Amino acid sequence: MIEVFGLPGYTRVKICGIRDEVTAMAAVSAGADALGFVFAPSKRMVTPERAKEIISVLPPFVAKVGVFVDSTAGDIRDVAGYVGLDVIQLHGKEPPEMCAEFSQKVIRAFRVGSTINIDEINLYSADAYLFDTLVAGQQGGTGKTFDWRLINIGSIARPVILAGGLNQDNVSQAIAAVRPYGVDVSSGVETDGVKDLNKISAFIRRVKSEG
C-alpha cells in the first residue's frame, strides 16, 4: 500500500484547518499523523506566510498537507515550495491529469452525496482518495456525514481517507464501517468554530484505540 503519511499498521489521523502554532503542536503531541492547511477561501483559510511560520516549528515526522480548491498547478507548486508542504490535497474540480503535476504526494478529494461513481474516481492517479460530504456551497468542514456504506475499499484503487462530520462520538463506528487508511477531521474538533485542544486529543485517542 502507498504510504501517504504516518506509519503502517493503524488508522492515520489528519487534523485539518490548522491556523496557529499552539493548536498545531497540541495536535502533534496528541499523536496526529498529518496537519492540514487550507489555502482556499473559507473561515479556516491561512495565508502561505502564516502557514510557513507554523510549519517551521513542526517536527519532520508530521505530514504537512496543503488544501487547494481549483487553483492552477503553477500556483499550487509555488505555495507548496514556499511553505514546505509534503502533500497536496485537491479539493475542487481539478481534472485527473493534474494529479501528476506535483513532486509531492497527492490526495484527491471527492464530495459524496447519495451515490458514488467508483469508475470515475479510479481515473485519478492520486496517492490517496479522500471522501467528504457533499453540501451545496461548501468545500469541506461541513460537520455533516454521508452514508459510509457507499465506500467499498475493495473496489477503490487507492488508500481511502474518510472525512465528513467525524467526531469523537462517531469515529469508531466510521472506522468499523469503512476500514479507511486514515480519517480527516476539522469541525468535529472545534467549539464555536475554534479548534478545541481537548476535542483534538479525545478524537485522536479514540482513533488510535481502534488500531
Supply the residues annotated as catalytic. Answer: 16, 132
Query: What is the tens place of the pLDDT at every residue in 185-206?
Result: 999 999 999 999 999 999 999 9
The pLDDT score that the predictor gives to residue 114 is: 82
Does residue 9 come out as left (phi exceeding 0), alpha (psi in the -120 to 50 range) or beta? left
d(CA 28, CA 201) in angstroms, rounded, equals 10
CB environment 67-98: b (16+ within 10 A), e (fewer): bbbebebeebbebbeebebbbbbbbeebeeeb
| Domains of the chain, CATH where assigned | 12-110+121-209 (3.20.20.70)
Mean pLDDT for 5-15 is 83
Element (H, E) at 83: helix 73-83
Reference 86, options 63, 52, 108; nearest CA is 63
Query: What is the tens place of the pLDDT at every residue in 147-173?
Result: 999 999 889 989 999 999 999 999 999
d(CA 20, CA 200) in angstroms, rounded, equals 14
Element (H, E) at 99: none
Query: What is the tens place of the pLDDT at every residue in 58-111?
Result: 999 999 999 999 999 999 999 999 999 999 999 999 999 999 999 999 999 999
Angle at 10 between CA 14 and CA 12, to 5 degrees: 5
pLDDT at 37 exceeding the cut of 90: yes
* CB distance 5 to 63 below 8 Å: yes
